Amino acid sequence: MSCCFGNNTNGTEPQKSILEQSDLPLDQPIIPVTKPSDPKIEYSITVKTGDFRNSGTNGPVYINIFSRDNKQTEDLLLTAPDKPFTQSSTRKFQVYATDIGKPQRIIIRHEDKSTGWYVDYIEISVHNFLIRFVANRWLNQLKNDRKLDIELFGSEQPAVLYNIEIQTGDEQIEILDSPVYMQIYGTTTTTPKFFLESKNPSFKKDTLSKFSISSNNVGEIERIVIGHEGLGKINDWYLKTIKVQMLGQQQEYVVDKWLSPTQGEQRLFVELSKEKPPSPLPAPPPPSPKYIITVQTGDVPQQETTENIEITIRGSDEQIDKILLKDYAKFNNEQLFQKGNLDEFEIDHTDIGNIESITIGFSDSQQNIAWLLESINIQYKENTYHFQPQCWLSNRLGSNFSWVTIKPDESNDDINYKVTVVTGESGVDANVILCIYGDDETTTTTNLALKTTKDGSNAKFDRESTVEFDLKAVDVGKIKKINIGHDGKGDEQQWYLKSIAIEKNDELYTFTANRWLSEEKDDQKTFTDLLPDEQKPPTPVPIKDQANYIITIITSSEKDAGTDSNVLMTIFGDKDQTKQFQLINTKQGEKALFQSGTTNEFEMELDDVGNINKINIGHDGIGFQPSWNLESVQIQKGSDTYNFVAKKVLDDSTTFIDLTPTSSSIKRQSIFFFSSSIVIFTGATPSSESINIKTPRSITPEQKSVSIKEITYKISIRTDSYQKDIMGDNASFYMIIHGENNQTQKLYLKDGLTSDKKILFTKDEKTEFEFQTIDVGKIIKIIVGRVDSQTTDTWHVDNITIKQNDEIITFNAEQTIEPNSQIELYPSIIPKKSEIIYKIILKTGPYQEEGNDSNIYLTIFGQNGQTKKIPLNKTTKINKKIIFKKDDTIEFEFKTNDVGKISKVILSQNLNEHGIRWHIDNLTIKQNNETTTFNVKRKIEKYTEIVLVPSSLRKKSETSQKLIKTSDSVSKVVVKIKGK
């Protein structure tokens, strides 16, 4: 178990706020592009993606920039050799485009319909202007207004908080569940369309709902638009009044009408102008009180820090939702949260009442950051709240250990702990952390940093040394256990810990360790739990017989199916029952468990309960997302298998559930014996850390006493033309076959290979496998995935065929399987792919270079897919011309798959081939009886790709305002540099 940690949480979904300057990390790469010869100017565009689960996009992403007089750039395609729009990423692009002057608004969109994208903000630097376009919203076909594009208005001012109060009338009957939005118009600019969301249902009968939204400063508020999307089961909303507060102004609106498709005016939105002057303020107006926050960082070396510290403040009346502290820094030119820093922040917010708790921390999925948080003071009006965590925040210590939830020190009831640490044959210079547990583990200290000794010097855990500390922390009562370890950062990381002594209130507790805390020795753990010496049993003789359990839990893959609470289980049998135990990843430390679409494995030894007749499973409700959608459970105990079907959401009303075995449970002797483990499936897609490949060993004659019906499965997998010829040797591909009666274990494909190993997963090849395993009955679905620890190659699966007895089942996939992921396929027909002849007519421009070295490639996209990248110089030229000239017409012809109605094409050149420089005026494609024309009118540089849409297509942006937009039939500019 990793070091303990209060109530860990990632906080609620934030409405992000911003700083006047870009927060692009100094080490973040800037993606360059080759400057075209056309006279254009450079735009520096920064895109910040939100830090929510699955908030990134694979694109493509387009941006169009408008000036106040409605001049506009081309559609600019933002892309890079890697995937720039990943979760919590901040990426900067240099773009050459038409000079429109000072940007006033933008339209940004992405075309990845399979995933959503949470846009935090976009920042544009041009002509010495730095303009921020705040979004703070999803572009997702399943969320909010279900749009993939958004119009944003820019501001050179920092973000402000809008405190919004909405009164739903007494006429409301049922709770409105349609997404509610608002847009605020001011004297200087306009906010984006933002959505009013909360954890608990709002807009109930005769209810006042409060929201705090961070967005751009519009100046003096002139009007607002409020409405809902009409996408819920209940779309009738009686809106009574609205109050909007921003800085020193307040606007109130009386509505008293239905926003409904069936009642009143049958409209879903209303536009409200300023009907009365802002509420009078005292003259002269006193400065509004602010929350003054000071954060003290520990005065110890910290190899890598972060400025992206976020905080949530909870009061007795309301709360300040999670905000990025650096956006409220009192001094913007200072580096924050560095060694020994005392940083100050000012937050303008309405009174939230008495502060009851705060959550502070940072997101760090890569486990790079460790931050020693000494103390926090929050001052509001005459009240000062003091928080003394004195703890390390780092995901190296375990999942979510980069966050801490703490309460203010109401009284000075901390006590002194005298701690003595004895080191053995090897010392450590990493950061050492101690946590003390009290009665029933309900009271604990935070992660105490052992950094300053009793005499005030820096702690050094040298070989054969004894170090004493005087610590101050909450009184945990009688000490039940401690957890001690180090973060593994330093030159000396192999620590041999002999013992620890803790003295408090005339009580002395001693803990004998005599073990290594090292990633290379013993159990390869850097933390350990220790019991007081007097509590340890004299001999390790178990009272009850023990048994090994293998448990498989499948959780629904629906949205928000996962939980961040602690999951607990009790197993009941005909002889006994286990104690309630927590499911923790004991093999690989505490990773992110029980998330939607992950698979987690555990190894445990528990009391032998005999034949299992019931289980009790649930969660403790701690965390910001405790609700858990549990699908089913499977337990293997020895040679017996028990299946439990749940299909139940475990929420605040029902946190635990009893399950009994189904009729599909079987008692059998295993064909192979596997080392005991606990496996928990929490969705269709496994996480990389959760898969253990088990090595079988031969069975004994006694184990053959019960037979299982087995059959042979012949499997054929065809990869498509996008597959790389060589896949990583470390990639482990597997399949799970689900039937009406049962399901197979993971079938690792290399173990059943019958084809030539040389064609294993090469492009346009069919690889065959054969497995002898349990008969699952009629196949209803399969899961295909891969476990990769090193490779970044992708696996492009075209289709799969399985022969079961005399039946052949086909699965059309046409999907890409990334490393450490899986897909779910259901039986489907494999379509026939017809080929047709394409005739290409290419008209060169006046700047075309003459020569015969054609180095140009064409990819065609349509409603039925896309072609391969076609090298035009290798296709038939109808007129057989050798020299390419300016203002000339060249014809090509080739046969490839029919993509249907053409939606776009990509022109490119090969970096590794010598060729002439192209200047193309237009391009025409003839397929069947259809002709598609593209206006190009530009040079094709060697390091760029040009995306072209048919000349007849004009993009129409859906916005709340009428846009005067010049039709641009010229192709989109691709801002992309190819790897050299």
934-973 confidence digits (pLDDT tens): 988 887 776 567 888 887 644 333 333 333 333 333 333 3
Which residues, 6 or more positions from 455, have their beta carbon under 8 angstroms from its beta carbon? none
Confidence of residue 9 (pLDDT cuts 50, 70, 90): very low
Domain end among 124, 155, 186: 155
Which residues, 6 or more positions from 967, have their beta carbon under 8 angstroms from its beta carbon? 954
CA distance 386 to 371: 19
645, 581: one domain: yes
Read off the pLDDT of each residue in 793-821 and give the average, rounded to a whole number. 84
CA distance 571 to 552: 14
Q: Is the pLDDT of residue 528 over 60?
A: yes
Which residues, 6 or more positions from 165, have their beta carbon under 8 angstroms from its beta carbon? 208, 209, 210, 211, 242, 243
Query: Please, what is the average pLDDT of the chain?
Result: 77
Domain containing 105 equals: 40-155
Residue 282 lies in a domain: no
Q: Is the pLDDT of residue 277 over 70?
A: no
CA distance 218 to 240: 25
497, 463: one domain: yes
561, 637: one domain: yes
Q: Is the pLDDT of residue 512 over 70?
A: yes
907, 872: one domain: yes
Lowest mean pLDDT across 371-385, 480-494, 788-802: 788-802
Share of the chain above pLDDT 90, in %: 10
Residue 979 lies in a domain: no
Which residues, 6 or more positions from 640, have their beta carbon under 8 angstroms from its beta carbon? 611, 612, 666, 667, 668
**Helix, strand, coil share (%) of the chain residues, nearest 5:** 5, 45, 50
133's tokens: 């376009």
Q: Is the pLDDT of residue 266 over 70?
A: yes
553, 653: one domain: yes
Confidence of residue 285 (pLDDT cuts 50, 70, 90): low
Is the sign of the CA dihedral 268, 271, 276, 282 positive or negative?
Answer: positive
Residue 668 lies in a domain: no
623, 640: one domain: yes
Read off the pLDDT of each residue in 479-499 and give the average, rounded to a whole number. 83
Residue 323 lies in a domain: yes
Domain end among 133, 155, 177: 155
216-258 confidence digits (pLDDT tens): 888 888 889 999 888 888 889 999 999 999 888 888 999 999 9
Residue 953 lies in a domain: no
Instruction: Look up the CATH number of the domain holding residue 148.
Output: 2.60.60.20
Position 853 scores a pLDDT of 65
Q: Is the pLDDT of residue 978 over 50?
A: no
Q: How many domains does the chain have?
A: 7
Position 111 scores a pLDDT of 84
525, 450: one domain: yes
For the chain, report the end-to-end CA distance as a whole number of angstroms.
46
636-674 confidence digits (pLDDT tens): 888 888 888 888 888 877 788 888 887 656 554 333 333
Name the nearest CA neighbour of 549 among 485, 628, 474, 609: 609
896-932 confidence digits (pLDDT tens): 888 888 988 888 876 656 667 788 899 999 998 889 9
> Is 529 or 399 the better-scoring residue by pLDDT?
529
103, 195: one domain: no
377, 491: one domain: no
CA distance 638 to 550: 8
What is the enclosing helix (H) or strand (E) of 802?
strand 795-804
> Is 931 or 692 the better-scoring residue by pLDDT?
931
Position 973 scores a pLDDT of 39
Residue 684 lies in a domain: no
Which pTM does this prediction carry?
A: 0.29
422, 463: one domain: yes
Q: Is the pLDDT of residue 714 over 90?
A: yes
47, 93: one domain: yes
Residue 887 lies in a domain: yes
Taking residue 710's Cβ as centre, other Cβ atoms within 10 Å add up to 12
